[in-house]
Amino acid sequence: MMAVQSLQNEFQAALLQDQPAQPGLLKPFGAAQFDVYRNAYRARMRGALRSNYEVLPLVMGDDDFDALANAYIDANPSDHYSLRWFGHAMCGFMAEQVDLVPHPAMLDLARMEWALRTAFDAASVADLAPDALAHLQADDWTALRFGLHPAVQLLEMQWAIGPVWHALKSAHDDVPPPEAYAHHMLVWRLGLNTQWKSLSSAELAFVQGLQAGHPFGEICEALVAVVGEDHAAQTAATQLREWLGNGVIATVQSPASSAMPC
């Protein structure tokens, strides 16, 4: 039994490390078959990364992406039964291996793509219908705490990669070069469709307040510093209506009640 396990371990190590089988591990014909299998394994792993990061390979080009993929496979062998999750550490890997990334905007693009992938697989919850708030009294609003949908992710970006993503997803040949642009991007899912949006300063203040679990009254106060006292209440109402309609907000809780999903 131990001999079989040792053989399996040596076989796996050679496969994952992209090395020929050790002498004596396999018969000559088996060694040739192993090389075919070894090459097919890495091609399958690269294919999984291309599937999980659809736009990134188009931006990088085949040679640069394959070099990045091969290095990633060496550093992060697949340890999950589903290839859907292969590439979960790619963004961190790219941040450390800058010599393999031709342009820094590609890291933002990878982060956006992985966020969209994980948003699609996030848990499903019932949408919070706007009429669920109709019974509330005016005095109730300041203490309300709204909860975000599990798919929601807030990304801090340094490059305007939205136009690049749109162009390549639409198969346009004319891809605009990315421009430096520090901003935040919100990623979420509406039904079965993933969504993203670059946030204005007011939208960012509102979403960050929701993420922090602040009551609605405190979020309105935070907006005063962004849009001014005369516009804070209207801005908060507009933001609430928009994020309710887009499925970003999933629950609401008042001090006297438990969370209401609908």
Q: Which class would CATH give 124-262?
A: alpha beta
pLDDT at 231 over 70: yes
Return the percentage of the chain with pLDDT > 90, whole number: 64
pLDDT at 131 over 90: no
Do β-strands 153-159 and 145-148 pair in parallel, antiparallel, or remain unpaired?
unpaired
Range from 102-111, 120-129, 228-237 carrying the lowest mean pLDDT: 120-129
State how far the Cα of 220 lies from the Cα of 85, in Å rounded to an integer: 39
How large is the average pLDDT for residues 52-61? 95
**Would you list the domain boundaries of the chain?**
1-102, 124-262
pLDDT at 23 over 60: no
Structure pTM? 0.83
Pull the structure tokens for residue 34. Answer: 């192993």
- Tell me what pLDDT residue 59 has: 94
Q: In the structure, what pLDDT confidence band is assigned to residue 261 with cuts at 50, 70 and 90?
A: very low
State how far the Cα of 2 lies from the Cα of 95, in Å rounded to an integer: 41
